[in-house]
């Protein structure tokens, strides 16, 4: 069975289409109007080996907040749909990814319980590129977690360059999510003593 999720979300602020295939090869078709965010979603596809389509039209004449938030909400919902009953998955995974001077450590539990722990160096540059507000990185993960219903811990113990600090988070997130979603041939049913996730 193919594990594909598709979500269309329309509000007065944004119109979002997300489709994700968990068993893909990293093919991405991303367009949100926020250049660096597109680059981060490309990282998610490439390093997670997810086939990912994201098309967002947002009120960028205000700022990038609604566009990024609503895209992340739709992405989380599509991910949850693609996971289906979670039978046979590994469930837990972690990844460490360096990017020059920065390091990201990400741990995920596909638990059915949304929870985010996030830390990164303070006093980063406030903007990357033209319109990526660096305070939005945490909010993107919060929005994803709320809809995907996963526990996600993201920690960047050090780094200087804001581009590197954010990018290594998305790369590590992609790797951890990929491994957590992978099927383990030794797992029978749902990987929980409760019998449900």
Residue 97 has what pLDDT? Answer: 98
Give the H/E segment covering residue 139: helix 136-148
Select from 85, 42, 74 the least CA-distant residue to 188. Answer: 85
**% helix, strand, coil for the chain, step of 5:** 35, 30, 35
Select from 53, 1, 48, 2 the least CA-distant residue to 25. Answer: 48
Which backbone phi and psi does 36 adopt, to 5 degrees? -70, -35
Q: At what angle do helices 162-181 and 35-48 cross, to 10 degrees?
A: 30
Domains recognised in the chain with CATH numbers: 4-181 (3.30.230.40)
- pLDDT tens for the chain, residues 1 to 197: 689 999 999 999 999 999 999 999 999 999 999 999 999 999 999 999 999 999 999 999 999 999 999 999 999 999 999 999 999 999 999 999 999 999 999 999 999 999 999 999 999 999 999 999 999 999 999 999 999 999 999 999 999 999 999 999 999 999 999 999 999 888 887 777 676 77
Which backbone phi and psi does 183 adopt, to 5 degrees? -80, 135
Select from 166, 176, 161 the least CA-distant residue to 134. Answer: 166
Which backbone phi and psi does 5 adopt, to 5 degrees? -125, 140
């Amino acid at each position: 069975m193919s594990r594909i999720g598709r979500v269309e979300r329309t509000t007065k602020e944004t119109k979002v289409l997300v489709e994700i295939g968990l068993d893909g090869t990293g093919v991405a078709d991303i367009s949100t109007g926020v250049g660096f965010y597109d680059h981060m979603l490309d990282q998610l596809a490439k390093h997670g080996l997810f086939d990912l389509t994201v098309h967002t039209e947002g009120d960028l004449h205000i700022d990038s907040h609604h566009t990024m938030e609503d895209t992340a909400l739709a992405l989380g919902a599509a991910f949850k749909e693609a996971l289906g009953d979670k039978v046979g998955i590994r469930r837990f995974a972690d990844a460490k990814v360096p990017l020059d001077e920065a390091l990201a450590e990400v741990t995920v539990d596909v638990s059915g319980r949304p929870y985010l722990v996030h830390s990164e160096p303070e006093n980063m540059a406030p903007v990357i590129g033209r319109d990526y507000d660096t305070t939005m990185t945490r909010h993107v993960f919060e929005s994803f977690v709320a809809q995907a219903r996963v526990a996600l811990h993201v920690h960047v113990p050090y780094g200087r360059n804001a581009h590197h600090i954010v990018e290594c988070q998305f790369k590590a997130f992609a790797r951890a999510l990929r491994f957590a979603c992978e099927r383990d041939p030794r797992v029978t049913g749902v990987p929980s003593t409760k019998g449900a996730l």
